[in-house]
Amino acid sequence: MNSRRDFLQKIAASAMVMPLMPLAGWAARMNNYDGPVLRVAIMGLGGYGNRVAEAMRDCVKAKLVGVISGTPSKIKDWQSRFSIPEKNCYNYENFDRIKDNKDIDVVYITTPNGLHHDQVIRVAAAGKHVICEKPMAINAKEGQEMIDACKKANVQLLVGYRMHFEPKTLEIIRMRNSGEFGKIMFFQGQCGFKIGDPTQWRLNKQLAGGGAMMDIGIYAINGARYMVGEEPIWVTAQETKTDPVKFKEGVDETIQFQFGFPGGAVASCLSTYNMNNLDRFFLDGEKGFAELQPSTGYGPIKGRTNKGELTHPHVTHQTVQMEEMAGILLEGKQPSIPVNGEEALKDLKLIDAIYKAVKTGQKVDLKG
């Protein structure tokens, strides 16, 4: 991992080449930062938890201070790698004790989807803020219960929507808001890859809550909403399953789904675990267009519009996300696109509607 100094120097060098980029002053602000620091414990020490932890090495507003895991060997490894004290280490049986730990402000949950509901409610009951990976829950009912529990405990619930802070994405949204694309007519979101190990939790309905839709399809759902700038009023959807052995009952392989928006725009999206090279957003308006490809991967994101290529430099998404979430939790900042539980609940309601449309073969009206 590069040192923070190297990291900041690289950003500063990029800023010299592209002085108009939104992140031009970020390195300097970070270098001079002397404000409050968000103290984070990560729950779930798997692949994504590691990615977040490594990215936080370059944060100044957020610091990894604790871990929660069911695997003692992982805890020992993380203690060594990230200098985490023994008193900030917990397992899934005893992590309610964080209530008495004043050195932890927030718990970032990166466990499988089906575990989020109970874990978020327990963390909230312990009086800690929560960051939960997406999808926040496996259905809207569970999501609402999580929101209610956090409100009752007077803690904040944020969701790991890292793309809501990605500069090329935000530039397209700025252009749309300023009318540069004219009336928005169409959005296309393609999200998918060919999944490997058939025994992994992502293909276990109890843990995942579904299949590709709960893992990769949510990017197209969420992206359709923030790219078009409206909430869908109807949904249609169709499922294709070519391997019922690997993709068992309740675990979707491929779903095509469509949204209609109140302004007249339509969206056509694809979520799949059986096709590679699918990571693209396309937005079309009467005056112009925008394209991101790749659109939601870990980066660098590549984008262009009818006015040319988007040239904002790449910064690790999770680093930016945690800096910005620290600002939300510590300073009351409001992001351009919400990352709270209510935002996540809108996606969960659409996931419910997509599964309903697949099952019934009917258009699902969302206006009521």
Question: Residue 141: pLDDT above 60?
Answer: yes
Mean residue pLDDT across the chain: 93
| 364: nearest Cα among 237, 226, 211 | 237
Among residues 219, 226, 273, 355, the one annotated as catalytic is: 219
In this prediction, residue 367 has a pLDDT band, given cuts at 50, 70 and 90, of confident
Whole-prediction pTM value? Answer: 0.92
Question: Residue 2: pLDDT above 90?
Answer: no
CATH assignment, 163-313+341-365: 3.30.360.10
pLDDT digits (tens, 9 = 90+) for 217-253: 999 999 999 999 999 999 999 999 999 999 999 999 9
Is 219 tagged catalytic?
yes
**Confidence at residue 29, expressed as pLDDT on a 0 to 100 scale:** 55
**Confidence at residue 27, expressed as pLDDT on a 0 to 100 scale:** 55
Among residues 61, 128, 134, 349, the one annotated as catalytic is: 134
pLDDT digits (tens, 9 = 90+) for 47-99: 999 999 999 999 999 999 999 999 999 999 999 999 999 999 999 999 999 99
pLDDT digits (tens, 9 = 90+) for 312-325: 999 999 999 999 99
CATH fold of 4-161 = Rossmann fold (3.40.50)
Question: Residue 344: pLDDT above 70?
Answer: yes
In this prediction, residue 168 has a pLDDT band, given cuts at 50, 70 and 90, of very high
Is 168 tagged catalytic?
no
* Domain edges within the chain: 4-161, 163-313+341-365
